[in-house]
Amino acid sequence: MTPTPTPAPPPLAKALVAGSGVMSLANSVTVPFLAVFLHRELGLQPGMIGFIIGSSVFFSVFAGFVGGSLSDLLGRTRLLLVSLLGVIGSFIGLYHSHGVLAVFTFNATMALSSSAFGPVGKALLGDLLPPERRVKWFSYQYMAVNMGFAVGPVVGAAVGLAGDRSAFLVGAAGYGVYLAGLGTLLLLGGAPAAATARREEDQLFGSVLKGLADSAKVAATDKRLLCLIVAGLLLEAVHGRISSLLAQHLSTGFTDGTTILGYVLTANAVTVVALQLGATRLMEGRSPLTSLTAGGLLTVAGMAGFAFSETTWHFVTSMVVFSLGEILIYPAEFALIDRIAPEERRGAYFGAQTFAQLGVFVGPYTGGLLLAAYDGTVMFLGVGSFAVLSVLIYLIVGRRIPGLAQPPAPKSEEHADDVA
């Protein structure tokens, strides 16, 4: 009997993956050089620059949860389009900004808009695809993001956009192209039923506020979700700002530290882009816990490698190991959230996961304290221990997720849902 071919993925799913690459490309031309712009164009001091850039994480966490929850109430696609418009407006606002208040305001609105897009987009992928195909497509999306960030800074520096005001217009144009493409696709093909508003009365202001309160209550009382957020925060503390830990370490004991850092960061981008698909296929059909455990152990091994590295190749090799852990972890994290999220609260659950971004503060802060009190070896081993704690939490919580150890239903044709 000839097996029935697996249906091709919806065009909207492909658009979400491709759009992730376009947005990360636009972001990487501007965001990494924001500190340069603030110092060169506005003459701000390091303390104020750090405050403006660092404060965005709090806006991101807030917007992630609220945006995800609103998408459950008002519809995914509506929130996606509004978020894109918000980012475009923020880029244009930054281009015209000449004072601290204006820069702070538009940097905040950009964080709010872009962070609302992330969980809503993942929730929409969950709406569009059957459970057994979601991990692979989360991996595609993650790979697209890394491809954009691998290319963007190099292109931006090569064409003279690094820290230049005109880079914001380039970023706005990139988002504008994606907004036009996504809007056209939605007009032609329509939105899936699960991505539209549930009931007309939900759109009333009072009902929306009640819906947000209900989502917050559900998320706050789901112990499995709270544990997964803590585990994600611990991993984010290790992965989120590894570049800052490396920069501090290399600047204190290595004469060619800047050169080494460049090689190491390039190795991270190349490893993620080159090995993402292979790693995804290797772990396909296995429990997300397997990916998280393997990824966590590789992360610890990479951090231990950094702790004892003495040459450029030691650091590069350690980064390759560390990056393999990163590749396995992120799609599996999203898959776990997807497993426990109720259908009607998927956006809220993905939004709640953005609280893990607070690890971006925890990691560098803890690392800085350890480096000041001891040395780089202790810093990397100490921060790396967060990954061990995270894996333990995932293993404990995994036992409380029914059917998690069972592989997803087999597909009729192995590569029927490839992006191409």
Q: Give residue 387's pLDDT.
A: 96
Separation of alpha carbons 147 and 134, rounded Å:
20
Separation of alpha carbons 229 and 340, rounded Å:
12
pLDDT tens digits, one per residue of 173-186: 999 999 999 988 88
H-type helices in 55-201, by residue range? Answer: 56-74, 76-95, 100-128, 131-158, 166-189
The residue with greater pLDDT, 269 or 380, is 380
Q: Give residue 180's pLDDT.
A: 92
Q: Give residue 313's pLDDT.
A: 95
Separation of alpha carbons 355 and 65, rounded Å:
8
Separation of alpha carbons 87 and 353, rounded Å:
21
Name the residue among 240, 266, 226, 299 with its Cα closest to residue 54: 240
Using an 8 Å Cβ cutoff, are 321 and 298 in contact?
yes
How many C-beta neighbours within 10 Å does residue 281 have? 13
Distances (CA, A) of 138 to 61, 78, 125: 20, 21, 8
Q: Give residue 323's pLDDT.
A: 94
Q: What is the mean pLDDT of residues 130-140?
A: 80
Any idea where the domains of the chain sit in the sequence? 10-221, 222-410
Separation of alpha carbons 64 and 140, rounded Å:
21
* Residue 201 in this model has a pLDDT that exceeds 50: no
Half-sphere exposure (CA, 13 Å, Cβ side) for 222?
22
Written as six digits, the tokens of 31 are: 């965001």
The residue with greater pLDDT, 391 or 160, is 391
Using pLDDT thresholds of 50, 70 and 90, give the confidence band for residue 71: confident
CATH of the domain spanning 10-221: 1.20.1250.20
Superfamily holding 222-410? MFS general substrate transporter like domains (1.20.1250.20)
Separation of alpha carbons 216 and 100, rounded Å:
33
Written as six digits, the tokens of 87 are: 């980012």
* Residue 1 in this model has a pLDDT that exceeds 50: no
Q: Exposure string (b/e) for 101-118, b if CB count within 10 Å is 16 or more?
A: eebbebbbbbbbbbbbbb
Highest mean pLDDT out of 120-124, 298-302, 356-360: 298-302
Q: Give residue 339's pLDDT.
A: 87
> Could you give the percent of the chain with pLDDT greater than 90?
23
Question: What phi, psi does 75 have (nearest 5°)?
Answer: 110, 140
Same fold, 10-221 and 222-410: yes
Highest mean pLDDT out of 6-20, 57-71, 167-181: 167-181
Model pTM? 0.74
* Residue 337 in this model has a pLDDT that exceeds 50: yes
Name the residue among 238, 268, 220 with its Cα closest to residue 390: 238
Paired residues of 239 in beta bridges = none
Q: Give residue 13's pLDDT.
A: 87
The residue with greater pLDDT, 379 or 160, is 379
Distances (CA, A) of 240 to 236, 276, 329: 5, 18, 12
* Residue 2 in this model has a pLDDT that exceeds 80: no
* Residue 32 in this model has a pLDDT that exceeds 90: no
Using pLDDT thresholds of 50, 70 and 90, give the confidence band for residue 160: low
* Secondary structure of residue 75 in the 3-state scheme: strand
Using pLDDT thresholds of 50, 70 and 90, give the confidence band for residue 415: very low
Highest mean pLDDT out of 108-117, 190-199, 234-243, 311-320: 311-320
Question: What phi, psi does 35 have (nearest 5°)?
Answer: -60, -40
Q: Give residue 351's pLDDT.
A: 82
* Secondary structure of residue 196 in the 3-state scheme: strand
Of the listed ranges 210-219, 323-332, 397-406, the least confidently predicted one is: 210-219
Written as six digits, the tokens of 14 are: 């492909």
Q: Give residue 413's pLDDT.
A: 41
Using pLDDT thresholds of 50, 70 and 90, give the confidence band for residue 29: confident
Name the residue among 14, 118, 1, 24 with its Cα closest to residue 68: 118
Q: What is the mean pLDDT of the chain?
A: 80
pLDDT tens digits, one per residue of 95-123: 998 888 998 899 889 888 888 888 888 88
Of the listed ranges 217-221, 223-227, 409-413, the least confidently predicted one is: 409-413
Question: What phi, psi does 196 have (nearest 5°)?
Answer: -100, 170
Q: What is the mean pLDDT of residues 212-235?
A: 83
